[in-house]
Amino acid sequence: MSELKTNVVSEGRVQTLAMDFLSVAQQAAIAAYPWIGKGNKNEADRAGTEAMRNRMNHIDMDGLIVIGEGEMDEAPMLFIDEELGTKKGPSVDIAVDPVDGTTAISKGKNNSITVIAVSSRGSLLHAPDMYMKKIAVGPKAKGHIDIEAPLIDNMKSVANALGKDVKDLTVMIQERPRHDDLVKQVFDAGAKVKLFTDVDVTPSIATAIDGIDADMLVGRGGAPEGVIAATGLKCLGGDFQGKLAPQNQEEFDRCISMGLSNPEKVLSLNEIVKSDDCFFVATGITDGLLMKGVRKKESGLLSTHSFLTVGGKGLLIEADF
């Protein structure tokens, strides 16, 4: 990774929009910044969403939101099938969360980010905002995961790919009662658990970043975050598998209506993100695993810290506004 304050050179037509979407993420983070620690997660989400929508509508693209955050908790959101942009540029699919970690931002906690994945039209999973079972690893363990296999089997496979003993693995798991059994299985294997409270996009991406103690992520979280994380991991050469988890007949039927004939099918990385012409961008709102949060300088300028991955490179970008 490196710091960058100039343009990113990209090869794909969609990837040429990367710097425009970096600006989108930055503006959304800045808009949400005043709501840190104010106890109102919906206002933080609304501010980020409005800023993101406004900036995206000025980009020369024919954009379509294919999966977005907000339906499960009735929060402000960019709506699935919402069209954005000037209609003059590339046709793109967009997966987005204007404020991932709304509870964290409302309580002044770490790990709140704004995050976006973009790919060529028709290439991102088109699904409702619902739960998804996930497993994520970095490049060295690519091809060595099976979401249908027992966790211990995946741990042995990943450890072998990384040249480690199972007991030396670090497994990222969101701290939720639904994951208590996963935590126990990791402990029983003698490996290390690293719990996080919110935002599973960052720990998923962390599995592909050298220098971060994160070998794999497992658990169940939001489908939008799954699609976004899968895009980032595809750009970084990692691997991801997902499986949608409808909670009721209504969610199952919604999947069917959106063209998913088998909603509970195992989805490989290349089924979630079908194109290589894609990119991932995130900006920190509060401090987190990959990025620093928005900071106000003595000059009055706001400083942002972002992570952008395009064409196999991960770039850390600092900017003042």
Instruction: State the DSSP string of 90-126.
Output: -EEEEEEEEEE-HHHHHTT-S--EEEEEEEETT-B--
Q: Is 97 annotated as a binding residue?
A: yes
Task: Report whether 101 belongs to an annotated binding site.
Answer: yes
Q: Is 100 annotated as a binding residue?
A: yes
Is residue 287 a contact partner of residue 278, using CB atoms and an 8 Å limit? no
Is 225 marked as binding a ligand? yes
Choose among 246, 202, 39: nearest CA to 113: 202
Print pLDDT tens along the chain (321 aa). 333 333 344 457 999 999 999 999 999 999 999 999 999 999 999 999 999 999 999 999 999 999 875 444 444 568 888 999 999 999 999 999 999 999 999 999 999 999 999 999 999 998 888 999 999 999 999 999 999 999 999 999 999 999 999 999 999 999 999 999 999 999 999 999 999 999 999 999 999 999 999 999 999 999 999 999 999 999 999 999 999 999 999 999 988 988 888 988 999 999 999 999 999 999 999 999 999 999 999 999 999 999 999 977 788 899 989
Domains in the chain (CATH in brackets) are 2-122+277-320 (3.30.540.10), 131-272 (3.40.190.90)
Q: Is 33 annotated as a binding residue?
A: no
Q: Is 73 annotated as a binding residue?
A: no
Residues 282 and 291 sit within 8 Å (Cβ to Cβ): yes
The structure's pTM equals: 0.92
20 is an annotated ligand-binding site residue: no
